[in-house]
Chains A and B, each alone.
Chain A
């Protein structure tokens, strides 16, 4: 009965958000294009033979960056910006009355957006293969399944981090600058611009304890068939989720108690 209700809610939310997202197809296509930074990075790596130092062949590196592109496409989160806008505009108040945590709404929004973006990402990948035909490969089903899960876990970690930051809106009104601050380590340490194996040793000694390599580097390595520690990857992802979820619940309950709608 209860699970039925939850199912219905989730399906409805997804449907609503998906049709909403379909209205902005061009925007989402542009967004997909804006994620092609990994390909520029790949270009630098291969045009300068930088991969010699890390013992990865050109082909494996191009697969890595293609996978990094895909993982990024399916783990981008922008809760902070939605939540900040909604809370500044006072839209949060009606959401709070409803018997559903508003973050479910954002969650559905993100999932719907990912579904809408999928065809565009495929088209970009197709172009990538036309230009780099030697890098075509088909991962086996188990690997594909595992990397889909780890991409989803990476999305969950980022969603939780951003949700915690978004809840700071209850105190500061402008949480997006904190998000921008957090984005910097995500950008440079997650493996989007350079695979984590290429980092100097003094960085590698501590980076695997932070959540960053598991956001892009781990799922991308898994999918592309590069060497990676699967057990450590999954357990670290789960540990970070288990750490972040209670933090989010706590800050949400404290924040909603503190919340006063704009103008009241």
Chain B
């Protein structure tokens, strides 16, 4: 019953944000080009890294392309959902319009996280999927049911971690008002998700798996895709994702207690 209501609300959200985004048609076209160029650029960078001996951190070029593909998909998801919504939190708090959100008879986190979409991220998702399929072919992976479910599960876990990281930072706006640059820091850290974790030095590897678990986001799904992963890694990713989602929820409710609207 409740789920049905939220689904209905969400289709309305989709409808309105599509309508408003399509007003800027030329913009969407430019964003498409940007997505394509960005993928070409990343692959170009990879070829530079691999031109020396063909192996980086134990990954071959064709294997590293999988990481690139998964990164592109996740980046597309970030651009479609997380970025437009979570940057809006800053605006809500600065202008005091969070009051209106809190007064609505639906969950505030749901509203704030899914209100808008940016359709230009879809192309990135499609590009990433195509690259992933191509990688499946050049790495001679035979797609069977258990393998596909396992990859899907790890990717969903990655999305959860990614969402929580973004949401954490955006929520801190309630105290700090401006967190634009904090999201820039997160963005630049996420940038390293394009490369296999094993290509970094030991200390950075620890940093990116324990403190900011960016390593989980792309490397583990890619290993699952290559059928090289161990069960404990997948379990660990599942646990991390659950913990992150759960804490992000708790953190939001905690932060709301400190929210005082602009005029009160």
Contacts and interface: CB of A to CB of B under 8 A. Distances in A.
Interface of B: 24, 26-27, 30-31, 33-34, 37-38, 41-42, 44-45, 47-49, 51-53, 56-57, 176, 178, 180-182, 184-185, 187-188, 191-192, 195, 199-201, 204
B57 A48 contact: yes
Given A36-B188, A181-B33, A43 B201 contact: yes
Interface stretch (A58-66, A104-112, A191-199, A214-222): A191-199
B61 to A, nearest CB: 13
A200 B48 contact: yes
A177 B199 contact: no
A37 B200 contact: no
Nearest to A39: B204
16 contacts: A27-B180, A28-B181, A30-B182, A31-B184, A33-B188, A43-B204, A47-B199, A47-B200, A49-B52, A49-B53, A173-B24, A177-B34, A180-B34, A181-B33, A187-B41, A200-B47
A88 to B, nearest CB: 12
A50 B30 CA distance: 35
Contact of B24 (A37, A174, A203): A174
Contact of A184 (B37, B56, B176, B185): B37
Contacts of B49: 44, 48, 50, 194
A205 interface: no
A172 B26 contact: yes
A37 B191 contact: yes
B181 A34 contact: yes
Interface of A: 24, 26-28, 30-31, 33-37, 40, 43-44, 46-50, 52-53, 172-174, 177-178, 180-181, 184-185, 187-188, 193-194, 198-200, 203
Contacts of B195: 44
Contacts, number: 93
Contacts of B200: 40, 43-44, 47
Contacts of A28: 181
Contacts of A33: 185, 188
Nearest to B57: A48
Given A33-B185, A194-B48, 12 more contacts: A27-B180, A37-B191, A47-B200, A48-B56, A50-B56, A52-B52, A53-B52, A177-B31, A177-B34, A180-B31, A188-B44, A194-B49
Nearest to A35: B188
A134 to B, nearest CB: 15
B178 to A, nearest CB: 6
Contacts of A35: 188
A178 B184 CA distance: 19
A34 B30 contact: no
B187 A34 contact: yes
Contacts of B184: 30-31, 34
Contacts of B45: 188, 193-194
Closest 4 CB pairs of A and B: A188-B41, A30-B181, A53-B52, A34-B184
Contacts of A24: 178
Contact of A47 (B24, B27, B187, B201): B201
A47 B57 contact: yes
A30 to B, nearest CB: 4
Contacts of A187: 41
Given A44-B199, A48-B199, A185 B191 contact: no
